[in-house]
Amino acid sequence: MTRSMRDEWRGARRIVIKIGSALLADRETGSLKSDWLDALCDDVAALRADGRDIVVVSSGAIALGRRVLRLPSGPLKLEESQAAAAVGQIALSSAWREVFARRQVTAAQVLLTLGDTEERRRYLNARNTLAALMSLGVVAVVNENDTVATSEIRYGDNDRLAARVGSMISADCVVLLSDIDGLYTAPPAIDSAARRLDVVEDITPEIKAMAGDAGSELSRGGMVTKIAAAEIAVEAGAHLIIANGKISHPLRALSEDAPSTIFLASANPVVSRKRWIAGSLVPKGTVIIDDGARTALESGRSLLPAGVVQVEGSFDRGDAVSIAGRQGEEIGRGLIAYSIADAARLIGCKTAEIETILGYRGRSAMIHRDDMVLKRSM
Ligand code: GLU
């Protein structure tokens, strides 16, 4: 444990705590681990008493629900997992409500879908709700609304959801409590030389490679989504900690120097609106630009139609799109001022021609610099 880790954790005033399903639901029986939850809530109540704002992101709805419904083990059909989530979520919420109530803490349930964080208007709406709950001293317990989420339109993992919530509430720390105590240089189960990293200052390709393959059996307990979450969090100005949740009082343990990995927040987090753009999980399309436009963007200018060579995908005005170079490499993200149909007609044209081509006076920039985040700061 390094000094910096303790300082970052101890100094955090606004914290998101993500709890994995395996911590809340017994692997064998699928029942709720109430002793563990009790101990965790002691820790949360202590942090609250110390003046920290806490938002909990709790998994476990599907794990709890499938037990009640006696669904077979193994992958569930979409409608089965939706049904399991509906049954499990009510149990999960009531468990949180009760354990917090015993500590005189009011809990609230907030169920989010991908659209609630990806669409700007809905994002602001959710942000306001969470802000109101925090100012009322309530601990929000957030989960994905799995009863309506479909496989295409969902987070699917609460790691990235927690990071997105952290960004939404301007948290200074996101803690992922998991069944592993940090990021290892190699899978510890098969490589005895594997070493846990204390601090990650930069999420380099080497760091990403340590997570293994998303699809591989050896990927360490969803480390891929944890690193994706870390990327979102650090860019939003929050530290992200991966810590072992399998012990009793895991947050107290963190204050007492339990092993963990901390990804340090970027020193220059992007402002809130750009943070939302950079963290968008599903850009609706891609705008491919030429080298001249790339240089212009890098020197802080807007993207004009003249520099665009191709548009792909299916986007509407105001949607988040990826900006790529000629080789397809992502340069940044931005909110586009035109639908794909109009953008396609404007490819390569001069700003003065926009009105004649479209028949209306559109914006001169395809993506305005205020609506754009370049990769080096993403
Ligand atoms: N939202 C899912 C659930 O509550 C869990 C997703 C995850 O484990 O990351 O069951």
Taking the centre of ligand 1 as the mean of its atom positions, its distance from the CA of residue 232, in whole angstroms, is 19
Q: Report the separation in Å between the CA atom of 63 and the middle of ligand 1, taken as the mean of its atom positions.
A: 8
Q: Which of 87, 93, 112, 143 to mutate to test the pocket of ligand 1 (most atoms within 8 A of CB)?
A: 143
157 lines ligand 1 (CB under 6 A): yes
Q: CA 70, CA 67: separation in Å to the nearest integer?
A: 5
Angle at 175 between CA 96 and CA 203, to 5 degrees: 150
The whole-number mean pLDDT for each consecutive block of 10 residues of the chain, a chain of 378 residues, reads 67 94 88 95 95 95 93 90 96 97 97 90 90 95 92 84 94 93 87 92 91 54 88 92 96 93 84 78 92 94 96 91 94 93 95 91 89 76
pLDDT for the residue 235? 87
DSSP code for 266? P
SS3 assignment, position 340: helix
Kindly tell me the sign of the dihedral angle through the C-alpha atoms of 12, 9, 268, 277. negative
State if residue 89 touches ligand 1 by the CB under 6 angstroms criterion.
no
What's the CA gap between 235 and 276, in Å, rounded? Answer: 10
Sign of CA dihedral 163, 325, 284, 361: positive
| pLDDT for res 376 | 63
Decide if 228 contacts 207 (C-beta within 8 A): no
Beta strands in the chain (DSSP E): 14-19, 53-58, 107-112, 139-144, 173-178, 199-200, 239-244, 260-263, 285-289, 308-313, 320-324, 330-335, 372-374
146 lines ligand 1 (CB under 6 A): yes
Which alpha helices (DSSP H) does 69-119 contain, by range? 78-101, 114-118
List beta partners, residue 374. Answer: 332
- Provide the pLDDT for residue 73: 84
- Of 59, 76, 141, 154, the residue with max ligand 1 atoms within 8 A of its CB, to mutate for a pocket test, comes to 59
Sign for the CA dihedral angle at 72, 73, 77, 83 comes to positive
Residue 128 phi/psi, 5-degree rounding, is -65, -40
Instruction: Please indicate whether residue 143, judged by its CB atom, sits closer than 6 Å to ligand 1.
Output: yes
Q: Which residues contact 360 (CB under 8 A, 6 or more apart)?
A: none
Cβ-based burial of 41 (10 A; exposed 0-12, middle 13-18, buried ≥19): buried
Ligand 1 centre from 156 Cα, in Å? 7
Residues 107, 112, 118, 122, CA torsion sign? negative
Task: Using DSSP bridges, classify how beta strands 199-200 and 173-178 pair: parallel, antiparallel or unpaired.
Answer: unpaired
Number of neighbours of residue 121 by Cβ within 10 angstroms: 8
CA distance 37 to 56: 12
**Domains of the chain and CATH, by start:** 3-266 (3.40.1160.10), 276-377 (2.30.130.10)
Residue with CA closest to ligand 1 atom 5: 59
Amino acid at 160: R
The answer to whether 275 and 269 have CB atoms below 8 angstroms apart is: yes
